[in-house]
A and B are shown apart, each in its own frame.
Chain A
Amino acid sequence: MAAPATEMTKSNVLVGTITRPPRSLWKDAWWQFRRHRLAMIALGTLLLLVAFTLIGPLLYHTPIDTIDFTQALKGPSAAHPFGTDDLGRDILARAMFGGRVSIAVGITAVLLAITLGTSIGALAGFFGRLDNPLMRFTDLFLSLPILPLLLVIIYLFRDSLRAAFGPELGIFLMIVGVIGVLTWMPVARLVRASFLSLKQKEFVEAARSIGARDRRIIVKHILPNVLSPVLVAATIGVGGAILTESTLSFLGLGFPPDVPTWGRILFDARNYLDIAPHWAIFPGLCIFLTVLSINFIGDGLTDALNPRKTS
């Protein structure tokens, strides 16, 4: 097998490049993505951070809620690598646990936003009758003041949700739900625009002429072509949702004090900046690094999935 291949490359380099094994869209995108150096570094950093929150607690056994006033507000040491808070609780353990919550909120909220946005955008773009009402609806949501509204809704409804689903799950569902419901609009616009242009294409006509129903055309023929911009939007959306959750927690309107998320730890730390700056710096760095990595990955994906840029 090897002999003909070398012979071919020797005789004609051009043929050699043409007969390279075919690559799928995703393999091609990965090949392109790997050339984006910063995005690769970011991907590594993000994987490390995820490992830090998921595997970290398995290796580092200090509990997140052991109160020890003799150790309160101590700086980083061998026993407590990130130091301790005002109750002497270990900040490294709390940051690991908090990361799980923050990242879970980010991913779940974005899944909700993407599902809503893609469905509404696809319906509006595909069915001309629905376009105007659905887009007016989208515009209306875009006119809502998101952060203030988030604060109000969470403050007003958290007690009833806490009663219904328990303190942790209740707040989790509420924050995820509210972020998802208030951030699907850009995705809907993006999907609608792609649907509008794609539904005029020949392959849709071909599918229709062999008897495919609307549902099949939407799901099997048009939707896969919209996936790459949605994927980019989703990636950047996770960063945005993590920021929003941290902001809510930082304003004291997120998770209850016994559930440490990164934003919540910062909220608790802000009155002790003069004596315990480490308390704010470590969780703050976690948020910053996570969001920065996600944004760089989003940038790399934009380049990798944009067919015009592939050379």
Chain B
Amino acid sequence: MGRYIARRLLIAIPTIIVISFVVYAILALAPTDPLSQFGADPRVPPEVRARIREALGLNDPWPIRYVKWVSALARGDFGTSFMSHSSVMDLIGQRLPNTLAVVGVAYVIGVILAVPIGMISAVRRYSFFDHFATTFAFVGFSVPTFFTGLLLIIVFSINLRWFPFIYDSTLQIHDVNSFIDQVKQSIMPITVLALFDTATIARYTRAEMLEHLPLDYVRTARSKGLREQVVVLRHVLRNSLIPVVTLVALGVPAVFGGAIVTEQIFRVPGIGELLVRSIGDGDTPVVAAILLIFAVLVVLFNLIADVLYAVLDPRIKYT
């Protein structure tokens, strides 16, 4: 097992290095000048602009800048934002809690709801519940999150006036009232994301359960005289969940990607919002850092999914 994980890690590291190179190359080779923001300002004289370029180290050829960037990264230094002149680490650190509070909670809710829905759907196949849940799942992953978000705002913020439609990140939770405010402002973004996550995972759980239900070991369990509940929960569900767990792990990076849209709709000042804003500002250090974080998330959760699969399914030989 240890050797398997070590081997997978050894594949993951060069992958991340190659991706960091690709990301940096795209940013460096882009025809858009990172200083175009300053460039648009006629009050900045050319010699000052040249000095800014010099100070930001933009005059080196980009492969040299890449090597400098990576060696700084290795020391844990993500560089400094062009726009706010604060460290990229601090910027991301400020925003990460907001993203996690929305995205993380939504994903957990999604998983908790999806597994029972998928299970009941499979066990009572073609029942009313199954038809309802299957249709719901189809709707859930066909409706774009930005449309669900806008609909929720129209219904619950504008017409019913139940929830605020702008997320206030300065809110401090110190008593019951501020906690209720936090819940109120989180409900809509969380619902939007959780709807999508629940739909995807429930559909997958149902399909896995249906693969397992007609198998021989299920018949054996029934013929031993086990109660149906035990057969379903202890035998079928446990086996069906192995690929579901993998899917849940693989889905984490995509969930962060989806947060970009949701944060934009509800103006949650999270990582996705920072990315969109930094792209617009041409703030290369921030964009590069966030892209790299997303890439590391993808590689890391691929690794976690593979390891989990090997741990949960003893039939898989990890060599």
> Which A positions have Cβ atoms within 8 angstroms of B?
139-140, 142-149, 151-153, 155-157, 159-160, 239, 243, 246-247, 250-251, 253, 263, 266, 269-270, 273-274, 277, 280-281, 284, 287-288, 291-292, 294-296, 299
A-B CB pair tally, cutoff 8 Å? 120
| CB 8 Å contact bits of B215-229 with A (1 = contact, 0 = none) | 000000000000000
Q: Is B309 at the interface (CB under 8 A from chain A)?
A: no
Chain B interface secondary structure, helix, strand, loop or mixed? helix
What are 29 sample pairs from A and B whose C-beta atoms fall under 8 A apart? A143-B15, A143-B298, A143-B299, A144-B298, A145-B294, A148-B257, A148-B291, A151-B276, A152-B27, A152-B279, A152-B287, A152-B291, A153-B26, A156-B32, A157-B31, A159-B32, A247-B144, A250-B264, A251-B261, A251-B276, A273-B150, A273-B158, A274-B158, A277-B158, A284-B150, A288-B147, A292-B142, A295-B142, A299-B138
Would you call A143 and B144 a contact (CB within 8 A)? no
Please state if A139 and B138 are interface contacts (CB–CB under 8 Å): no
Judge if B73 is at the interface, Cβ distance under 8 Å. Answer: no
Closest to B145 in A: A247
User: Judging by beta carbons under 8 Å apart, are B26 and A296 in contact?
Assistant: no
Q: How far is the CA of A41 from the CA of B251 in the complex (A)?
A: 31
Contact check, B261 vs A157: say whether CB atoms are below 8 A apart: no
Which residue in B15, B144, B265 is a CB contact (below 8 Å) of A291? Answer: B144
| B contact residues vs A (CB 8 Å cutoff) | 15, 18-19, 22-23, 26-27, 30-32, 138-139, 141-144, 146-147, 150-151, 153-154, 158, 165, 253, 257-258, 260-261, 264-265, 275-276, 279-280, 287, 290-291, 294-295, 297-299, 302
Knowing A143-B19, A145-B291, A251-B276, the reply to whether A291 touches B142 (Cβ < 8 A) is yes
Docked complex Cα distance between A155 and B153 (Å): 28
Chain A CB count within 10 A is highest, among B23, B139, B150, B151, for B150
> Smallest Cβ distance from B166 to chain A, in angstroms?
12
Known A156-B31, A288-B147; contact A148-B275, beta-carbon cutoff 8 A? yes
Top 9 closest pairs, chain A to chain B, by CB: A145-B294, A156-B30, A284-B147, A292-B142, A147-B257, A291-B142, A160-B31, A277-B154, A250-B146
A280 touches B150 (CB 8 A): yes
Cβ contact within 8 Å between A284 and B31: no
List of B residues within 8 angstroms of A270 by Cβ: 150, 265
A294: chain B residues within 8 A (beta carbon): 142
Known: A156-B30, A159-B31. A288 touches B141 (CB 8 A): no
CA distance A277 to B150 in the complex (A): 9
Task: Please determine whether B146 and A156 come into contact, CB atoms closer than 8 angstroms.
Answer: no
Q: What is the CA–CA distance of A284 and B279 in the complex, to the nearest angstrom?
A: 26
Contacts A152-B27, A156-B27 given; indicate if A144 touches B32 (C-beta within 8 A): no
CA distance A159 to B15 in the complex (A): 31
B151 touches A281 (CB 8 A): yes
Bound: A296/B23 CA distance, A = 36
In whole angstroms, what is the CA distance A152 to B297 when docked?
Answer: 18
User: Across the two chains, which residue of chain A brings its CB closest to B147?
Assistant: A284
Closest to B18 in A: A140
Q: How far is the CA of A270 from the CA of B152 in the complex (A)?
A: 12
Chain B residues in 8 Å Cβ range of A156:
26-27, 30-32
What are the residues of chain A within 8 A of B150 when measuring CB–CB?
266, 269-270, 273, 280, 284
Partner of B138, one of A142, A146, A253, A295: A295
Closest to A285 in B: B147
Which residue of chain B has the shortest Cβ distance to A247 in the bound complex? B261
In the complex, the answer to whether A148 meets B290 with C-beta atoms within 8 Å is: yes
In Å, the complex CA distance between A144 and B279 comes to 17
B151 cross-chain contacts in A, Cβ below 8 A: 281, 284
